[in-house]
Amino acid sequence: MVTLKDIAQAAGVSAMTVSRVVNKVPSRVSEDTRRRILCLVDEMGYVPNSSARSLSSNSSHLIAIITGSLGNPLKYPYNALMTGGMTHYMQQKSYSALFYQATDYRAVTRQLRSWRVDGAVFLGLFDSDMRKLREDNSIPLVFTDSYSTIRQLNNVGIDDYKGGELAARHLLQNGHREIAFIGGNAEESPVVRNRLRGFRRALGQENVLLTDSSILSDDVDLNAIRRVLEKPIPPTAFFATADITALKLVKALHSLGIRVPRDCSVIGFDNLEQVEFSMPPLTTIAQDIDRKAELAADLVIRMIEDKTAPVQNIVLDVELVERESVRNLKA
Amino acid sequence: MVTLKDIAQAAGVSAMTVSRVVNKVPSRVSEDTRRRILCLVDEMGYVPNSSARSLSSNSSHLIAIITGSLGNPLKYPYNALMTGGMTHYMQQKSYSALFYQATDYRAVTRQLRSWRVDGAVFLGLFDSDMRKLREDNSIPLVFTDSYSTIRQLNNVGIDDYKGGELAARHLLQNGHREIAFIGGNAEESPVVRNRLRGFRRALGQENVLLTDSSILSDDVDLNAIRRVLEKPIPPTAFFATADITALKLVKALHSLGIRVPRDCSVIGFDNLEQVEFSMPPLTTIAQDIDRKAELAADLVIRMIEDKTAPVQNIVLDVELVERESVRNLKA
DNA sequence: GCTGATAGGTATATCGGTAACCTAACTTGC
DNA sequence: GCAAGTTAGGTTACCGATATACCTATCAGC
């Protein structure tokens, strides 16, 4: 492998001069030698050794993307879109992305340190560990969808509360007053909790109540669904906290002989590309995942490059996308 | 940050001794000092610096995963599943995955060298460049879904030809004799080419012909679809070379007032999880993406750790998964 | 008592860069 | 004409590990 020294020798200068040229250090090298060196670099196929660079300059140009550790995290379209989007953006800014899966903060800390990563973005929740992560690591950390009470935490999220409200209002406007909720565990996930809160609030404004017996888990259990539908006054609509869940629900309802939206309406959350191609196309609360990914990547990089950059809590807007899975009962 | 030297000092031994303990070099350190050192390592939170390690040992324990460079590569479920699956497996084997997007082989070579990556897996095609990639890089390279004529190339793929045959036979068995094909460009993609060949072959065995006018591009153009359906004898079924395409097609047909499978049948390829939740659930040719990912990851790692390991061309089987998108015309 | 093997270490060079400091020649202002 | 500043470099000491060679007890065997 060609090293700095090889280029230096070939050009008849010191290694430092070559280093300066390669790193575009302004005005320390004459235009003449600069061109000569660049020519040799290209000719001999020199590529800087990032490890060596990282070791001596104390900056790796590496950013970790950290997800929870259960199975294949990119199985979920949301994670895949975020990860791919961030990687793409980082590469444009000449950073490389390193993927890690981890559950506990000690493992994360070990991983971050081993490559002396410049910064990290977290997908998913390390709620109880956030404080420790901040304490143990002096590098910029960016969380996503976190509702931590710890101040001074970089975060990129969306307005989940409003998302819940929008879903509720849309259902109400279409004449639904008996409504069920299906989603992740609100106690465990602050994201779900906020969507649920907003949802309840907007329902409450029209005196519609969401009872606990109308709240289903996102594992989409056929029996549970049947039980809800057999209530004295069965729900005419479901709000699912994720499109994936909504799609599974539509399928489950169908297998019970219930048509969406004719017999029952469904509204989802996320606006994944695939819900446009489902049958029926899903009405859903849209978040801009591409933009979220870019903002998260941009935020870590800004924090890395400018140590005085202020901590940010970015909250993106959400909006209703109307398709064909909600029936208008008033019509 | 805690370094080897710090531990050495605290333990009253040389750095080399600590290095041996950390790297589990067999029997050069007494059990006594070993334990003492391990204790200190844990206590002081020592994490080896991978850059330094890579520099001096000439092995980075890093594997590159390389995809094409158009936009967000993880937008496609197939890429996401492969990438996630490989990363997961690599981490278990204590390798880290580095993601890169690239189109030309020079960029790839630069990226591989800059971190002195130990090996690389390619998702997607660098067909014309494979030879150069092999020549320029002395590290193990694993390709996926490649049909290169270059011998001595590690590859993990599936039996695309058989997949095409299975699809054709299933349609024939269900009484379809007027059939259309929708998929990527067969000239550009050897994968599509082989699926198409197998498909044609099996159709031919029953004297069914697939004319060029019944072959559509995977951009799912509504006008093109309409044109095919307005032929004197319109097709009763479509074979799509990817589930994603199949789903878009179903939606397009629906928008033309054509019901699947009542008015027209569709068969896909891949068996993505989401096609089970589409309406109708999609009949498709299944490939085991999780296993493919694991085999690809396992292959690079084997090649890295055993320089004498033989080159392999792994071909995984495919199978038909019957759901509800193909109508039996004989019934 | 001497040789040789083995266990349990140490010392030093090196991997490929960069930071920080040094220097010589030339320019510029006064 | 000279101090001060600029330009275009070179020198040297690391960064944090590992490879390699070398050292020193201890003990068995003859």
A278 with B277: Cβ contact below 8 A: yes
Give the pLDDT confidence of A40-65 residue by residue, as tens digits: 999 999 999 999 999 999 999 999 99
pTM, two decimal places: 0.94
More confident residue, B129 or B29: B29
Residue A249: predicted pLDDT: 96
The average pLDDT across A145-164 equals: 92
Q: How far is CA B7 from the centre of its chain?
A: 43
Give the residue carrying structure tokens 């000449």.
A94
CA distance B168 to B199: 5
> Distance between CA A220 and CA B213 in Å, rounded?
44
User: In sequence order, what E strands does chain A have?
Assistant: 62-67, 96-101, 119-122, 141-144, 154-158, 179-183, 215-217, 237-240, 265-270, 283-286, 313-316, 319-321
- Judge whether residue A15 contacts strand D, using its CB and a 7 Å cut-off: yes
Query: Which of the given ranges, A307-311, B131-135, B146-150, B316-320, has the highest pLDDT on average?
Result: B316-320
Locate the chain A residue with the closest alpha carbon to B48: A114
Answer whether residue A156 shows pLDDT above 90.
yes
What digits encode the pLDDT tens for the residues B177-192?
999 999 999 998 999 9
- Rounded to an integer, the average pLDDT of B207-223 is 95
B172 pLDDT band, cuts 50/70/90, is: very high
pLDDT at residue B67 in the model: 94
pLDDT band at A149 (very low <50, low <70, confident <90, very high): confident
Give the number of other Cβ atoms within 10 Å of residue A61's Cβ.
18
Coil vs helix vs strand at B1 = coil
Find out whether B128 and B134 touch, Cβ atoms under 8 Å. Answer: no
Q: How many of the other CB atoms lie within 10 Å of CB of A209?
A: 11
Picking from B137, B275, B263, the residue whose alpha carbon sits closest to that of residue A248 is B275
Residues B48, B15: Cα–Cα separation, whole Å: 12
For residues B291 and B259, what is the distance between their CA atoms, to the nearest angstrom? 34
Neighbours of B232 (CB within 10 A): 4
Q: If contacts are CB pairs under 8 Å, which of residues 224-263 in chain A contact chain B?
A: 247-248, 250-251, 254
Which residues of chain A does B75 touch, with a Cβ-Cβ cutoff of 8 Å? 80-81, 84, 273
Instruction: Give tens-digit pLDDT for A257-277.
Output: 999 999 999 999 999 999 988
Token pair recorded at residue A32:
């003449």
**Whether B227 CB is under 7 Å from strand C:** no
> According to the model, what pLDDT value does residue A272 have?
96
Per-residue pLDDT at A130: 83
Structure confidence at residue B134 (pLDDT): 85
What's the average model confidence in pLDDT over B312-328? 97
For residues A139-154, b (16+ Cβ closer than 10 Å) or e, as one string? Answer: bbbbbbbbbbeeeebb
Measured CA to CA, the distance from residue B91 to residue A100 in angstroms comes to 8
Q: Report how far Cα B282 is from the mean position of its chain's Cα atoms.
A: 21
Is the CB of A13 within 7 Å of strand D? yes
CB count in 10 Å sphere of residue A48: 17
* DSSP secondary structure letter of residue B309: P
Residue A287 has pLDDT above 90, yes or no: yes
Residue A25: CB less than 7 A from any atom in strand D: no
Quick: pLDDT tens for B57-111: 999 999 999 998 789 999 999 999 999 999 999 999 999 999 999 888 889 999 9
Residue A311 DSSP one-character state? P
Give the H/E segment covering residue B239. Answer: strand B237-240
DSSP-derived letter for residue B310 is P
Question: What pLDDT, in 10s, does the model give residues A88-132?
Answer: 999 999 999 999 998 888 889 999 999 999 999 999 877 777 888
Residues A112/B1, Cβ–Cβ less than 8 Å: no
The DSSP output letter for A100 is E
- Chain position carrying tokens 């000239």: B187
Per-residue pLDDT at B174: 98
Do A282 and A253 meet the contact criterion of CB atoms below 8 Å apart?
no
Angle at B122 between CA B117 and CA B128, to 5 degrees: 110
Q: Which of B84, B114, B251 sits opposite A73 (nearest CB)?
A: B84
Set of chain B residues whose Cβ sits within 8 Å of the Cβ of A274: 247, 274
Contact B63, B141 (CB under 8 A): no
pLDDT at residue B113 in the model: 95
B175 interface with A at CB cutoff 8 Å = no
Lowest average pLDDT, out of A80-94, A114-128, B306-320, goes to: A114-128
Token pair belonging to A147: 């509702």
Among B66, B88, B105, which would you mutate to test the A interface (most chain A Cβ atoms within 10 Å of its Cβ)? B88
Q: Does the pLDDT at position B125 exceed 80?
A: no
Q: Is the pLDDT of residue A320 over 90?
A: yes
In A51-90, the residues whose Cβ lies within 8 Å of chain B are 51-52, 54-55, 60, 71-75, 77, 80-81, 83-85, 87-88
Supply the pLDDT for residue B121.
97
Residues of A in contact with B58 (CB under 8 A): none
| Contact of B87 with B74, CB cutoff 8 Å | no
Strands B283-286 and B265-270: parallel
Could you tell me if A323 lies within 8 Å of chain B, comparing CB atoms? no
pLDDT computed for residue B150 by the predictor: 81
A148 contact to strand D (CB, 7 A limit): no
Neighbours of B209 (CB within 10 A): 11
Query: Does residue B63 sit in helix, strand or coil?
Result: strand
Q: Return d(Cα B81, Cα B65) in angstroms, integer.
A: 13
Question: Residue B276: which pLDDT band, with cuts at 50, 70 and 90?
Answer: confident
First to last CA, chain A: 74
Q: State how beta strands A96-101 and A62-67 pair.
A: parallel
Provide, as residue numbers in chain A, all residues whose Cβ is less than 8 Å from the Cβ of B113.
1, 47
User: A124 touching B, CB under 8 A?
Assistant: no
**Contact indicator for A237, A167 with CB cutoff of 8 Å:** no
Give residue B41's region: left, alpha or beta (phi > 0; psi -120 to 50): alpha
Q: What is the pLDDT of residue B65?
A: 96
As given in the structure block, the two tokens for residue B47 are: 């994490």
Interval A249-258: pLDDT, tens: 999 999 999 9
Higher pLDDT, A108 or B128: A108
pLDDT, position A4: 96
Q: What is the pLDDT of residue B97?
A: 95
How far apart, in whole angstroms, are the C-alpha atoms of residue A142 and residue A300? 6
At residue A133, the pLDDT reads 87
If you average pLDDT over every residue of chain A, what do you get?
94
Question: pLDDT, tens digit, for every residue of A164-220?
Answer: 999 999 999 999 999 999 999 999 899 999 999 999 999 999 999 999 999 999 999
pLDDT > 80? residue B315: yes
Report CA(A267)–C1'(C3) in Å, whole number. 88
Mean pLDDT over each residue of chain B, to the nearest integer: 94
Confidence of residue B148 (pLDDT cuts 50, 70, 90): confident
Give the distance, in angstroms, between residue B154 CA and nucleotide D16 C1'.
35
pLDDT of residue B46: 97
B70 vs A81, A288, B43, B76, B108, CA distance in Å? 14, 19, 47, 11, 15
Element (H, E) at B119: strand B119-122
The yes-or-no verdict on residue B152 having pLDDT over 90 is no
Q: Which residue has the tokens 């506990």?
A: A104
Q: How many angstroms separate the CA of A62 from the C1' of C11?
A: 34
Contact B251 A277 (CB under 8 A): yes
Chain A residues 15 to 54 whose Cβ lies within 7 Å of strand C are 15-16, 19, 22-23, 46-49, 52-53
Please name which of B187, B186, B169 lies closest in space to residue B177, comparing C-alpha atoms. Answer: B169
